[in-house]
Amino acid sequence: MTMKNGERLGPIALVTLLFIVCSVYAFLMHTGLVFKPIKRPTYVSLEEAIDRYGKKEEIIGVIDRQGQAFAYITQLARRPHVVYQNEGPSPFIMSHCILAHSSMAYEIDDCFKSPKVCISSVLANNLVFYDKKNHNTVQQVLNKKVEMEEPLTPLPTIMTSLACWKEQFPNSKVWVREIVWRDTFYFTFLARKSVIDPSSPELVYPLQHPLDIRLPMKSAVLGIHLGSISKAYPEDLFKRNRLIQDTLGKIPICMMASPDGEYIQVFSRENSDRKTLSFLLSEKHAFIDDETGSTWNLKGECTLGHYKGHVLQPIPHYSKIFWFCWADFYPETEIYDIHQDSISETTNPTLHPKQSNSSLPTR
């Protein structure tokens, strides 16, 4: 490094400078001066949130263990990364990583009791936070404590618009906050717009594996990990297909989407009677099970027919996560075959073969 007077910084000076920069960064992270989790969130009604931000504003929707819905404005969650929800009998924390466009909520339960969370670092462009009380490091996209290899309890978390969320959960609360100096500092010096721009190839940190080129780098995918199997479903699929059925390992699943493909929920196709259901989309755009002709809605509720009153079990997943991040943490991930996306498909679709690129090292 050359200074203005033409002199070069020696190795010791460079190491000292790097140490100072890293120390300042660590201080900002661990003390919460910039990334201070929100412990007492302020909520407003959906109507007020729409008046303030507009119907198309992206939110992170969370459904707690009791079925109560909460929404978090994504652009406001980009800096604190973590918001506590302590109201009611089913508390949780909501986490959002700006670099990976990934969101997940975790139930505050026996496995994650009274956590005192701080943002500790970023690994391969994904959020890492530390629970000071229980002395555990958590890698967001892996949904588990790193040291103990112990999984957390994720909750259904969906990224969609305020308008779509209102259609499903009209009584949902919406978290909002005021813009403060920390936002200006963070978005000026630490998080450039190009990092979160889907059309930009820019990454902040190196990947753990060679870039997976099977899909565009920052294309949005719906990512599911069940047992030892992970699979990605390109979000564009749901603009043409409101119903996708699949089987991951031995678990039959289905994905149901709103007409515009903006709201997507994942369910187990095994109902409370332990019977596996197959679905189709009727001419009236209703979800019908092939076994009894019962009608189901986007919340997995049976509203008409033999199974009326039954509810499908939702499966937590990553909604609209950037492909590069999902593939980096789940390098053996499968991809749902775009060319066989039938709305009535009930068998495992063919998988894309891994593509190779001579300029990239192979796994």
Residues 280-326 have pLDDT tens digits of 998 888 899 999 999 999 999 999 999 999 999 999 999 999 999 99
Burial of 76 (0-12, 13-18, 19+ CB in 10 A): buried
For residues 201-209, give the mean pLDDT. Answer: 93
Please give the pLDDT value at position 254: 97
What's the CA gap between 148 and 322, in Å, rounded? 27
Contacts of 348-355 spanning 24+ positions with Cβ under 8 A: 348/246, 348/247, 349/246, 352/214, 354/214, 355/213, 355/214
Coil, strand or helix at 43:
strand
For 230, residues 6+ apart whose C-beta sits below 8 A from its C-beta are 223, 224, 326, 330, 332, 333, 334
Element (H, E) at 96: strand 92-97
What's the CA gap between 340 and 243, in Å, rounded? 13
| Edge-to-edge order in the sheet of strand 287-289 | 279-281, 287-289, 295-296, 302-304
Which domains, from first to last, does the chain contain?
42-176 (no CATH), 220-340 (2.102.10)
CB 270 within 8 A of CB 311: no
Please give the pLDDT value at position 112: 87
What's the CA gap between 156 and 18, in Å, rounded? 41
What's the CA gap between 141 and 127, in Å, rounded? 8
Query: DSSP character for 348?
Result: P
CB 72 within 8 A of CB 165: no
Q: Residue 13 — φ and ψ, nearest 5°?
A: -65, -40
Question: Is 80 exceeded by the pLDDT of residue 256?
Answer: yes
What's the CA gap between 222 and 201, in Å, rounded? 20
CB 187 within 8 A of CB 87: no
Query: DSSP character for 301?
Result: B
Question: Is 80 exceeded by the pLDDT of residue 81?
Answer: yes
Give me the helices (H) in 153-291, please. Answer: 162-168, 181-185, 193-196
CB 166 within 8 A of CB 275: no
What's the CA gap between 103 and 222, in Å, rounded? 11
Amino acid at 296: W
Question: Is 80 exceeded by the pLDDT of residue 39?
Answer: yes
Q: The pTM is what? A: 0.84
For residues 149-164, give the mean pLDDT. Answer: 94
Closest residue by Cα to residue 62 from 321, 322, 326, 317: 317
Q: Across all residues in the chain, what is the average pLDDT?
A: 85
For residues 16-27, give the mean pLDDT. Answer: 56
